[in-house]
Structure 1
Amino acid sequence: MFNTIITLVRGRSHDAAQAVADANALSILRQQLRDAATGVEAARRSVAVVMAYAERERKSLPRINAQIADLEGRAMVALAQGREDLATEAASAIAQLEAERATTETAPATYEMEIARLRDELGGAELRLRDLKRGMQLADAAQKSQTVRGVVSRPVTASLAEAEATLSRLQSRQLHAEATALAVVELSASQSAEAISARLAAAGCGPSIRPDAAAVLERLKQKSA
């Protein structure tokens, strides 16, 4: 049971950390790209340092050759003068210089191989960094677009819905008003026609519209007969 609780706590901690990372993914990506850019710049400086070493080795070879030639000449003079002690010192210096020359002659090739390798790595890192920066810019633009869309769409949608409801109510009232006005016109026309018919009937023009007492009495007499 204790292990289960520990596992649950670890799982929730991981979920919480993942949620924080997801919510701040763009900020994390920016910092990671800054760190990567710093690393790429350090790699670029390293390549420059190696190139400087290689150039120094190339330039030191003529100097060593000149020193060897100078010592050889002086040693020959010392031997001619019977100064073998001085010639021996010169020979020792020449031996050291020849060893240095041997190392210097192989160093440029080694440096060139290292420079080529570092340049390939640096080029790949720079390409990946550019791609990541481009991707971050797209992600940043997409996030801003989503934010703006969310800010704009919600009030716009609500406003449109309210406007549609208002328009519907207005149209309903207008239709009702038009129907009422039409009914009034029809009623007025009907009442006007009935009034004219009544006046005509009262003037003896055609049968009476409304039965009067004399007509009712006459009808009753006819029924009783």
Structure 2
Amino acid sequence: MFKRITTLIRAGAADAEEAFTDAQALTILRQQLRDAAEGLEGAKRAVAVVMAYAAREQQSAARIAGQIADLETRALAALGRGREDLATEAATAIADLQAEAEATARAIAHYDAETRRLRETVNLAEQRLRALQRGRQIADAASRTQKLRGTLPDGVTASLTEAEATLARLQARQSHAEAVESAMSELGRAASAEATVARLAAAGCGAALRPEAAQVLARLREKAL
């Protein structure tokens, strides 16, 4: 049981961590991209340092080559004058310079290879960083769209629904008021017409509206026969 409880606690902590990471994914991604950009700038500085070392070695190689050429010219001149001692000294110096030139050439080759490797790494990192930045922009835009889609339409829909209901009630009341007014007008017109007919009938114009007593008595006598 204790093991299950421990496992459950660990699972809950892992789920909470994963949920937090998912919720803050864009924030984490932005910081990771900033860290990557800073690291990339450091890599570029490293390339620049290696290139500076290579340039310094190339200057040394040029200086050594000039010294060797000068010593060879002077050694030949010494041999021409019969100064074997000076020619031998020059030859020794030339040999030392040639050894130094070989070491410099190896350093230059190393720096050139390292520069090419670092440049390739930096170029690839820059491409990946640009792709990630574009992806981050798309994800950011999608997140904002989802937030708008998740909150704005509900509020708008609720407001529209309430407005439609209010308008329907208003129209119903107006329609009812118009119907009452129309009915009252009809009643008014009917009452006016009936009053006019009654006055005309009372004046002997047209048939009487109500049977008179004499007419009723005559009808009853006919039935009695």
Secondary structure (helix, strand or coil) at the match of 1:62 reads helix
Secondary structure (helix, strand or coil) at the match of 1:34 reads helix
Structure 1 range deviating more: 198-207 or 121-130: 198-207
Structure 1 range deviating more: 122-131 or 193-202: 193-202
Aligned to 2:168: 168
Take 1:191 and 1:87, find their aligned partners in 2: how far apart are those partners?
148
The answer to whether structure 1 residue 62 and structure 2 residue 62 are counterparts is yes
Aligned to 1:182: 182
Take 2:157 and 2:3, find their aligned partners in 1: how far apart are those partners?
51
The answer to whether structure 1 residue 156 and structure 2 residue 131 are counterparts is no
Aligned to 1:118: 118
1:24: Cα distance to partner?
Answer: 1.0
Q: Which amino acid aligns with 1:32?
A: Q
Structure 1 range deviating more: 209-218 or 156-165: 209-218
Q: Identify unmatched segments of 5+ residues in structure 2.
A: none
Take 1:82 and 1:143, find their aligned partners in 2: how far apart are those partners?
85
Aligned to 2:8: 8
Aligned to 1:17: 17
Percent sequence identity is 56
The answer to whether structure 1 residue 35 and structure 2 residue 42 are counterparts is no
1:213: Cα distance to partner?
Answer: 3.7
**RMSD between aligned alpha carbons?**
3.1
Q: Which amino acid aligns with 1:141?
A: A
CA distances 1:22-52 after superposition (whole Å, capped 9, x unpaired) = 1111111110001100111111111111111
Take 1:101 and 1:214, find their aligned partners in 2: how far apart are those partners?
158
1:140: Cα distance to partner?
Answer: 2.5
Equivalent pairs counted in the alignment come to 222
Task: Output the TM-score relative to the length of structure 2.
Answer: 0.81
Task: Output the TM-score relative to the length of structure 1.
Answer: 0.81
Take 1:63 and 1:56, find their aligned partners in 2: how far apart are those partners?
11
Q: Identify unmatched segments of 5+ residues in structure 1.
A: none
Structure 1 range deviating more: 32-41 or 194-203: 194-203
Aligned to 2:197: 197
1:70: Cα distance to partner?
Answer: 6.0
